[in-house]
Structure 1
Amino acid sequence: MSDAIAGLGGGGLATPQTSNIATAIKYSMLALVCFFGGPIVNKLGVKWALVIGAMSFPIQGSSYYCNSKFGNQWYLILGAFFYGIGSGCWYVAESGAIMTLAPSQSRGKYLAFWIVSRNLGQLVGGAINLSKNHKKGVTGGVDPETYIAFLIIECMALPFAFLIAPLDKVVRSDGTRILQAEGISTMGEIKRISRTITSKLIMLSAIWAFWSFFYSGTWSTYLGTYFAVRSRALSSLISPFFCIVGCFGLGYILDMKSVSQRRRAQIGLFTVAILNVGVYIWSIIIQVRFNHSAPGKIDWEDSIYAETFLPYFFVQTTGPMSQSYMYWLLSSFATDAQANVRNGAAFRCLEAIGQAVAYGMNTQTKSSPLIGFCVTFGLLAAAIGPMIVLVNSTPDRIPADVIAEEQDMGREKLADCEGVKAPAPVDAKV
């Protein structure tokens, strides 16, 4: 539902600025929580971190409703503060869990299913949104009743969070169990934050993490600035469709058994980068045209609707594909479940900082998101070099799987040794 609200353009409000301020605050708090997310989630456990996150979800829907219905801005901004804390716990827990739960040879499929599930939430939200905002000629924000439906669905997350099983009780579909590290103290966990943040894995992927969701702030502003209410409603419905194809297609590439893990990482990076470059060039060309000749509020019946909406449609696929690929790559370096949580927390911290900066930058956008498009394109270009270095060092097998196999072999050998009886003593003859 959070993605569905973002898909409304400016949160569905009449002007995107207030939504951008609230969203910048949300991602600032989310980044802070993610920075300490490894120790928090490893101490609380994945289940309880997800419970805390689920408890915070209804704050967002209710705050947008109050702003739209009563013009109440303080709750939207204060709610973003608390929602950012809760969703930070959720962010770290869900990324660590999905990277850990997936069997080695099916990580691409599992990660695609995760990303697509998030987009299916936007699909449901889009259907609700379009049903409430389909009348032609309506200006301003979306119907306030739209947020009530979102709020009801957000409230449904909490009971499901209680059903999550602890990772140490999980048996994967291929029969393997999850390798868990020995428990360490809270101070020990905090000390590992600096090691994780300064590791080769995070340092080389830092710009990619910062860029990965940077586009959302600019594209949300683009929709809110140039598209009519019902066009924004339609966009929130149809945008997730192609994402399903794109993410599962990438998952198929990343799970190819006939190709080494390193080669799959290289093919995946090339695929994601090329698709994103095409989308950003297209979006910059469209925005330059708009700067020369403002189109007004574009309706879906207008002749320019398709060419101006399609870049947004495709970025809603290439963006999630970039996320899915990066989590697959991070899990390729994991040594245990706790390492996945720390790596995921570090990546999501940098990702949230990028989103906070993007939305903060767009609070100043009065007429043109062109600067945002150019900055996003520049960040992608800057991220490619370090990512090539990282991808070329991808191990051929996941270290956690290798360690787990060695431990299993060690236990089997010990069991065999204990099962062999010592030979009976032979009487010595003089």
Structure 2
Amino acid sequence: MASPEEKQEQRQMELAQEHDAASSSDPESGVDQAVIGPAWIGLGGGGQVNPHDVNNANTALYSTFAVVGFFAGSIANRIGLRLTLSLGGLGYFLYVAALLSYNINENAGFLIFAGAFLGVCAGLLWCAQGAVMLSYPREHEKGKYIAIFWVIFNLGGVIGSLIPLGQNMHSNAGRVDNATYIAFLVLMAIGFILCWCIADCKHVKRKDGSRIIVIKNPTWKSEFLGLWETLLQDSYIVLMFPMFLASNWFYGYHFNAVNLAYFNVRTRALNSLLYWLMQMVGAFVFGQLLDLKGLSRQWRAKLNFGILVAVTMAIWGGGYVFQRGYTRESGEIGTDFTDSNYIGPMFLYMFYGFYDAAFQTCTYWYMGSLSNNSRKLANFAGFYKGIQSAGAAGMWSLDAQETPYMTEFASCWGILMGSMLIASPVIFFKIKNSTAVEEDLRFSDNTTADVMGATATHELGEMEKHQAADHTPTETLRESQDEPAPRA
């Protein structure tokens, strides 16, 4: 029989495992490492990292991530998205190397340094990933591109979750050996190299012949001033900041207050698998809804906003009923997937994963609907990831202070609903059926001929030629770009 002290120590080690896995789920890898990052996250620290050291590493990670992420758009615009993605991948390689080192020699200093370095790199990588995802597709394809990324991205989480599930299926203990970490190091090195296979913005030509709006001759001065110009000229984006903050706020609650507190080890591994699977479903469903044919973009924005509010109330309403059943003082509940009372909490946790993907897919799409300018979207993505990281850190801090579970739950539900209310003027009034080319060009040194396909340029010229005669607004053409365009 273990003593109370031994039980508490074991509890702390389990918390470290879940905390290391979950708190790292915000800065996961982007486009080329979309499978590798979440797969490593599914492994976490393997229960082998001292909770004090991993907390310090995560503090360093989120501190640098929040700062660098906010300004990462300027860096990405200056050095290019491809180089930014590649540099961002270095941090993940180093962090897994630090975990491997810790397993061998318990070098806490290296682990904390790697956490801080990962924060810097994650800010760069996620900013570039967001810019690629939002600026490369045409307007009527953005929901699909976001969904494709999110499905591939969470496939890694599914793969990673299978490993601890297999290890713990017939036991309540399990650890990840060094060979597994070495395998992930090799995969991450490959991902770092594959980043160079992505076409940079200036070389991308869409199916309709149009090109991505970029700045041709960026300087460090112009891009950091551009960040400030974005906040001044597009000040409405500040109303989206609470949604950015909320987008990862609930991770600490999901992983610690629900999965860790209510289930045993092998059931947590199964729940993790189901959580990432449902993220794939959520991204697919909302990706389809956001690109729904037959409705204008303005109506799609409003429709999906209403659906998201309804889903928030339904899922978190169910979560409230569930959370009333236990508190932090309840101790270890240890529910197993063979127990008769498992089915209800299992479906709730699955829908928590579904909701995560739904909320973030919608948030990304709203940003992408405000502009087609890669330079501006890189800044938006940087704001998103920097503020998101700060929000995730806030919840982890609350959980580390042993805040009551119901208080954590209330903060999640409240900030989600409040953030959508604050962002609603942007969603209802700023999103148009199509973004005018001239409006996007104001934030770059491109011309209309530089970015529009031959077909679109010819049609625009004809429309403007006859505009005075038949009073046909030029905007009619731009709105037509929201539907599949004729091939160039």
Would you say same fold, with TM above 0.5? yes
Q: Check conservation: 2:71, 2:227, Cα contact below 8 A.
A: yes
Map 1:171-190; keep pairs closer than 5 Å: 171-190=205-224
Unaligned ranges ≥5, structure 1 = 417-430
Change in CA separation of 1:325 and 1:143 when aligned onto 2, cut-off 3 Å: same
Equivalenced residues, count: 413
Change in CA separation of 1:9 and 1:79 when aligned onto 2, cut-off 3 Å: closer
The question of 1:250 aligning with 2:286 is answered: yes
Equivalence for 2:483: none
The question of 1:143 aligning with 2:176 is answered: yes
Of residues 390, 393, 401, the one that matches 2:426 is 390
Equivalence for 1:316: 353
Equivalence for 2:23: none
Write the letter of the residue equivalent to 1:321: A
Q: Deviations over 1:97-152 (max 9, x none)?
A: 110111221111111011111101101111223223323233xx643455444444
- Structure number with higher relative contact order (C-alpha < 8 Å, ≥ 6 residues apart): 1
Q: Deviations over 1:292-323 (max 9, x none)?
A: 74452222222333323332221212112211
Q: Deviations over 1:350-389 (max 9, x none)?
A: 11111121222222238x5332221111111211222211
Change in CA separation of 1:350 and 1:59 when aligned onto 2, cut-off 3 Å: same
Q: Distance in 1 between matches of 2:132 and 2:223?
A: 18
- Structure 1 stretch 10-19 or stretch 233-242: which is displaced more? 10-19
The question of 1:126 aligning with 2:176 is answered: no
The question of 1:355 aligning with 2:392 is answered: yes
Partner SS for 2:118: helix
Q: Check conservation: 2:157, 2:273, Cα contact below 8 A.
A: yes
Give the deviation of 1:188 after TM superposition: 2.3
Q: Check conservation: 2:271, 2:350, Cα contact below 8 A.
A: yes
Map 1:264-279; keep pairs closer than 5 Å: 264-279=300-315
Equivalence for 1:289: 325
- Structure 1 stretch 114-123 or stretch 352-361: which is displaced more? 352-361
Query: What root-mean-square deviation, in Å, do the aligned CA atoms of Structure 1 and Structure 2 show?
Result: 3.0
Q: Deviations over 1:160-209 (max 9, x none)?
A: 11211111111223432212234343222212223334533321101111
Change in CA separation of 1:335 and 1:106 when aligned onto 2, cut-off 3 Å: closer
Of residues 324, 331, 337, the one that matches 1:300 is 337
Unaligned ranges ≥5, structure 2 = 1-35, 442-446, 463-488
Q: Check conservation: 2:77, 2:218, Cα contact below 8 A.
A: no
Map 1:10-409; keep pairs closer than 5 Å: 12=47, 19-67=54-102, 72-138=107-173, 142-145=175-178, 147-197=181-231, 199-222=234-257, 223-291=259-327, 293-294=330-331, 296-365=333-402, 368-393=404-429, 394-400=431-437, 407=449, 408=452
Q: Check conservation: 2:91, 2:114, Cα contact below 8 A.
A: no
Q: Deviations over 1:264-291 (max 9, x none)?
A: 0111112222222322233333233112
Equivalence for 2:5: none
Give the deviation of 1:344 after TM superposition: 1.2
Change in CA separation of 1:400 and 1:114 when aligned onto 2, cut-off 3 Å: farther
Write the letter of the residue equivalent to 1:121: G
Change in CA separation of 1:286 and 1:414 when aligned onto 2, cut-off 3 Å: closer
- Structure 1 stretch 194-203 or stretch 386-395: which is displaced more? 194-203
Q: Check conservation: 2:140, 2:291, Cα contact below 8 A.
A: yes
Q: Distance in 2 between matches of 1:8 and 1:203?
A: 36
Q: Distance in 1 between matches of 2:45 and 2:410?
A: 20
Q: Deviations over 1:216-251 (max 9, x none)?
A: 122222323333222222223222222222211111
Q: Distance in 2 between matches of 1:47 and 1:20?
A: 32
Change in CA separation of 1:10 and 1:196 when aligned onto 2, cut-off 3 Å: farther
Q: Check conservation: 1:129, 1:236, Cα contact below 8 A.
A: no
Change in CA separation of 1:259 and 1:412 when aligned onto 2, cut-off 3 Å: closer
Write the letter of the residue equivalent to 2:217: G
Q: Check conservation: 1:336, 1:400, Cα contact below 8 A.
A: no
